[in-house]
Amino acid sequence: MSLRRASYHLHTALIVDPQGAQSAAAVLDFVRRFDDFLDHCDHEPRLAFGVIQNGARFLERYLSLRPEHFERLEAVGEAKKLVTAPFYLSPQGDSILSPELFIRNLLLGRQTVQVFARPLEICWLPFKLRLPAYVPQLVHGFGMRTLILPMPTEGSAEGRWRGDEGSEVCVGWALSNAESGESIAALRAHFAPLNQSGEMLILCPWDSGGALAFSQMSAARQVVDEVFSSHPGHYGRALETYARRCDLPLLTLEPYVGAASPQITAAEHLLTHHLEPASIVAAYGALPAFLPHPQRMLQQLWRGLISASVAPERMEAEASLEAIYETVSALGVERSEWLSAVIKSDHPDFVISAAKLPESGMGLIVRGVNIGTAPIWVRLRPFRRFERALVLRHDESPTGGTMGLEDEGAIRFLAEPARFLTFGFG
């Protein structure tokens, strides 16, 4: 049961890009909106933040059409007026296909956003989708403690979500009037009975000059609430602060078990099980160095695969898959048994989901998961001995933990069920 409050903090965020902009017409509409947003950044005092919900890929797309605006975009980012969803391409529908695709989507998104601004420290999923039970631990692995989802339909507006291995995240909700046309005051009145923290995030679409959004914000200030220009990151931090003082209810979110499209499944399998280990061996001289910068090429392939996860029928998916097959063929990888010398686990329940070069090109990053139902001890041996082994977060930054190395360079650790583990060798 939620508290009935006399007033609320209404975090109003101006959405610059339209939902699901994929067609050419929608992209041009986004370019016009963003041009208008940049024009108003310099002289509109009410414009504190603009929010891109589709992900960092749309910044790349905008600059491909407006390369002359790079410095303007950089200035807006330095002024902290631009906020982007943390993904390279925000998932929607059935596009969360696997943990590795989710991780790479966040990695590429945060790396792209860092060119212009600091990425969000919360996980914001702007579009409706059913979520796998592994999402809380992956969100934790990127140092985030809050998950913001689209408008709720029933139950508590806020709460805690516990993943399949025990990790918990705060869950907040983003209210939007883009489709309904409701005023901010109407949204507030409708969802106030569901609200416990007193914090509400309301997304308003950016129109020409932001006239409609600004007028709604002005009208909402006639009530007793505090209404201010904000963004999902500020709302998420406010929710975390409340959760530290008061206990939020435990939510039951519908688990998602779906079948990936055959094309995407094949592409991801080749990337994670063939191409990445083969590129590692090539980089260290075990094979001819076909790839002078294998990690860069892999990143481009993942970009195409992530983009195709929203619309698999697009040409980008076909181009990515073709490039993967050509590269694997060039490296001479034909049998998965050949890769057993690259990275080896001594327990059948510990499955390696990825082995890759870090951005520096030096060392090795390995990620795996215990698919069993009980804790197991695992011995993991890379293809050669490295000087050290570190425990990493899913964003591939060190946690501070160092693993002891055996004579052959192997590490030994306890793997809990359903928990993804990431290690760095260097």
Is residue 5 over pLDDT 80?
no
Residues 101, 179 within the same domain: yes
Residues 6+ away with beta carbon under 8 Å from 406? 379, 412
Range list of β-strands (E), 273-360 = 343-345, 350-356
CA distance 347 to 370: 9
Residues 223, 307 within the same domain: no
Residues 68, 206 within the same domain: yes
**Do the domain assignments include residue 91?**
yes
Domain stops at, among 245, 279, 308: 245
pLDDT score, position 312? 46
Poorest-pLDDT segment among 120-124, 133-137, 185-189, 245-249: 185-189
Residues 294, 424 within the same domain: no
Domain range for residue 31? 9-245
Domains in the chain, number: 3
Residues 310, 240 within the same domain: no
Per-residue model confidence as pLDDT tens digits over 19-35: 665 677 878 888 888 88
Range list of β-strands (E), 6-124 = 9-15, 50-52, 82-84, 123-124
The model's pTM is: 0.88
Domain of residue 236, CATH code: 3.20.110.10
**Do the domain assignments include residue 4?**
no
Residues 297, 425 within the same domain: no
- What is the distance between the terminal CA atoms of the chain, rounded to a whole angstrom? 52
Domain stops at, among 307, 340, 373: 340
Reading the block at residue 238, the tokens are: 């406010």
**Class of residue 165 by CB neighbours under 10 A (exposed 0-12, middle 13-18, buried 19+):** middle
**Do the domain assignments include residue 251?**
no
Domain stops at, among 192, 214, 245: 245
Per-residue model confidence as pLDDT tens digits over 278-328: 888 777 776 766 677 788 888 888 888 887 754 544 445 566 777 777 777
Residues 145, 51 within the same domain: yes
**Do the domain assignments include residue 53?**
yes
Residues 13, 142 within the same domain: yes
Are 377 and 414 in contact by the 8 Å Cβ rule? The answer is: yes
Residues 159, 53 within the same domain: yes
